[in-house]
Amino acid sequence: DAKTTQPNSMESNEEEPVHLPCNHSTISGTDYIHWYRQLPSQGPEYVIHGLTSNVNNRMASLAIAEDRKSSTLILHRATLRDAAVYYCILRATGANSKLTFGKGITLSVRP
Amino acid sequence: GAVVSQHPSRVICKSGTSVKIECRSLDFQATTMFWYRQFPKQSLMLMATSNEGSKATYEQGVEKDKFLINHASLTLSTLTVTSAHPEDSSFYICSARGGLAGVKETQYFGPGTRLLVL
């Protein structure tokens, strides 16, 4: 599986935008970019995913570089409930593809 | 949205006993289910993948005779930890992926089951 690289941690202020970067220089043409987040003692929660174009949903936006070697998860207004570990994961299409979790980035939100 | 449930949410058992954890997809048919394990301060580790009606595929290093997985229907998978020992104490999380339009490429996770083996 192609790997992703994320910073270990990031701090943000409440109600300010947050940009979480992810590098995936070995991404292949069939890899989707998935983002999940995990709050303490909970299962991961789906955030967003994309292939080539930028994506928006009610939780976040995903900006994908033109060469697809990096992407950024954007939380438009951070809240205290957004404090979590965010995982950027590549997954190929196909019935046998799997989500392999790395260490993720720990986001702290200051009130 | 797609919901995955797990039962029980936490369980304490004695060493040597077996524990069964259930995972259900509540509003979609899960063609594929996954079982993960997470130790404190670590990331999720995939244990096995199962497709409905067929045998599970285990990741390297995961004992298939110790962690029995059954995916009997499109909405239910079970993980049985046999002859549990203290080192099996962990957070077990299931995940499901289905063919429902709009969620085909998305994998949804259960809330996890905390297992403590005494």
For A29, residues 6+ apart whose C-beta sits below 8 A from its C-beta are none
- Are A95 and B32 a contacting pair at CB < 8 A? yes
CA B16 to chain CA centroid, Å, is 20
Under DSSP, the state recorded for A5 is B
pLDDT band at B102, cuts 50/70/90?
very low
Contact indicator for A45, A39 with CB cutoff of 8 Å:
yes
pLDDT at res. B24: 95
pLDDT band at A105, cuts 50/70/90?
very high
- Are A41 and B114 a contacting pair at CB < 8 A? yes
* CB of A8 less than 8 A from some CB of B: no
**pLDDT digits 0-9 by tens, B45-90:** 999 999 888 889 999 999 999 999 998 888 999 999 999 999 999 9
Compute the average pLDDT of residues A73-85.
97
- Are B109 and A102 a contacting pair at CB < 8 A? no
How far is the CA of B79 from the CAs of A65, B16, B44, in angstroms?
40, 16, 16
pLDDT band at A1, cuts 50/70/90?
low
pLDDT value at B99 more than 80 = no
Q: Residue B110's closest CA among B96, B90, B98, B89? A: B96
∠ CA B46-A71-A88, nearest 5°, is: 15
**Could you give the percent of chain B with pLDDT greater than 70?**
93
For A28, residues 6+ apart whose C-beta sits below 8 A from its C-beta are A2, A92
pLDDT value at B12 more than 80 = yes
* CB of B73 less than 8 A from some CB of A: no
